Amino acid sequence: MRKLIAIEFLSVDGVMQGLGSPDEDRSGGFKHGGWGARFADAIHTTSGRNGLAGTSAYLFGRRTYEKMAAFWPHQPDTNLMAAHLNGTPKHVASSTLDYNDVTWDNTTVMTGDLASNVRRLKSTGTGDLVILGSGVVVRHLLRQDLIDGLRLYVHPLVLGSGTRLFGELPSPLSLKLTGCDTTSLGSIVLTYDIDHDGDA
């Protein structure tokens, strides 16, 4: 069974909202959109060191998918991240999209029960299934005990407001640190396995 890994970009206080651009997500009156853009080049360098070869498919929520689909298909294949995202199977969890709404190559729309769909994906194929962003999906799957690992890019910034990655969980989450890296701009990359049987 392949693992489900969530890759998230956060401030020190756990905020994931509005990472990339000023108008990305202003919900709740959030005023700090685009706060993560200045860290992007250093993150890409570290991502390259971590490698993409182990990822065999991606999972997105609808909003993250639409943001990614508006950008990555238009990037050249000389961009390693673009080449990997564009050529790798992508699954988007949505009750509002259908097949005709998606134009990004290798995309499948998943309808119905999310947990059941994810269990099916985990039971087939090889390599890792990776979630990028998609906080609503991540929080739901954490509550279902279906995420096996976290890779957290923690940027040296405290925002003080905004949507945070982790919400309420039915029980504490026991983590095992398996990797730690830094970037030239001071971000920390923390890689954790989730201990499904452990007690925090």
Q: Is residue 101 part of a domain?
A: yes
Inside any domain, residue 2: no
Give the pLDDT confidence score for residue 43 in this predicted structure: 66
Residue 84 is assigned to a structural domain of this protein: yes
Residue 8: inside a domain:
no
| Number of domains within the chain | 1
Task: Return the CATH number at 145.
Answer: 3.40.430.10
Query: Which tens digit of pLDDT belongs to each residue from 162-181?
Result: 889 998 888 889 999 999 99
Whether 144 is in a domain gets the answer yes
Domain membership of residue 29 (yes or no) is yes
Instruction: Judge whether 188 lies within some domain.
Output: no
Give me the DSSP letters along 10-53.
Answer: EETT-B-TT-S-TTS--GGG---TTTTGGGHHHHHHHHHHH-ST
Report the alpha-carbon distance of residue 68 to residue 12 in Å, rounded: 24
- How much is the pLDDT for 169? 84
Provide the token pair at 45: 């360098």
| Section 72-96 average pLDDT | 91
Q: Let me know: does 12 contact 157? Beta carbons within 8 Å.
A: yes
What is the span of the domain harbouring residue 153? 13-163
Band of the pLDDT at 99, cuts 50, 70, 90? confident
* Measured distance CA(18)–CA(10) in Å, rounded: 10
Separation between Cα atoms, residue 65 and residue 104, nearest integer Å: 9
The rounded distance, in Å, linking the Cα atoms of 43 and 33 is 18
| HEC secondary structure over 108-156 | EEECCCHHHHHHHHHCCCCCEEEEECCHHHHHHHHHCCCCCEEEEEEEC
In a domain, 41, yes or no: yes
Query: Is pLDDT above 50 for 200?
Result: no
Query: pTM for this structure?
Result: 0.89
